Amino acid sequence: QRSPFCNQCPADLAEQLEASLNLVAEQCHLVLVNAAKPDGRLKTTKALQKLVKSGEAQERSFQLPAIWDGSGQVELVQRTAQELGLKLQPDAAQALSDAIGSDSARLASELEKLSLYAGAGQAITAQAVDALIGSQATNALQVGDALLAGQPAAAVALVDVLLAANEPALRIVATLCGQIRGWLWVSLLDQQGENDVNAIAKAAGIGNPKRIYVMRKQIRGRKPERFLALLSQLLQVEASLKRGADPGDAFRDGFLLTP
């Protein structure tokens, strides 16, 4: 998880990887989980590519849908169920997507549990998903959605779920900052009359221009000052965390007490 080998890899760690590659048994899989694409300029990436080019290894990438890509996540659920030979009702696919997102490892595990719950040959239903998984899962973007909707108490409750699942507090802050900063850029550029989604995506630092359509729907009717206020609240949370405050208290004070 969170492999450093193909992105900003320290020199000593790179040397250890290169020294270990020949020790990986022929029948084994080396799985590297990266949030970003491998950096082809790094020695470690080149070492792995060399093994592939020489025929000593095979490479396979598993591109997961982005956390904001709802339709892509539903497709991932449906594809995984199909690969496992399981029947899945459409509303169950949506429910699983809402609960798990693009966590492919957990998705496969939960699908296997659901297949046992539903019974051999039976389609998995949304009711089964709710019974076994319910609302156990959430993600930081849902926290941002709650803040945008003016529901700080709901945002705090979602943060508590994330913290209970051992999600690092500063990573939650970083995700929220990126989400809200994106909304701010889109709002400002819309005010200026910019209609080219590619130009907006480039200015906002958003890789996929299609995301702009989703963001525009989310922020419709809201002014840039709203997003600046949310960023100010997150700054207070981050400052509290870095001073050593309890994560739950830091988010609670930042969301509920900061005007």
Look at residue 249 in the predicted model and tell me its pLDDT.
Answer: 93
Look at residue 138 in the predicted model and tell me its pLDDT.
Answer: 59
| β-bridge partners, 124 | 88
pTM of the predicted structure, to 2 decimals = 0.54
Look up the CATH architecture of domain 140-256.
Answer: Up-down Bundle (1.20)
pLDDT digits (tens, 9 = 90+) for 56-103: 888 888 777 766 666 788 888 888 888 888 888 888 888 888 777 777
Look up the CATH architecture of domain 70-132.
Answer: Orthogonal Bundle (1.10)
Q: Choose among 144, 89, 145: nearest CA to 122.
A: 89
Percent of the chain with pLDDT over 90: 17
One-letter amino acid for residue 44 of the chain: T
How much is the average pLDDT of 187-211? 81
Q: How many residues does the chain have?
A: 259
Judge whether residue 201 has pLDDT over 70.
yes
Contact 227, 239 (CB under 8 A): no
- Write down the mean pLDDT value for the chain: 84
Provide the CB-side half-sphere exposure for 173 (13 A, CA). 22
Provide the CB-side half-sphere exposure for 2 (13 A, CA). 1
70-132 and 140-256 have identical folds? no
Q: Where are the domains of the chain?
A: 11-53, 70-132, 140-256
Judge whether residue 109 has pLDDT over 90.
no
pLDDT digits (tens, 9 = 90+) for 155-187: 999 999 888 877 888 888 988 988 898 899 889
Integer-rounded Cα Rg, in Å, for the chain is 21
Look at residue 68 in the predicted model and tell me its pLDDT.
Answer: 63
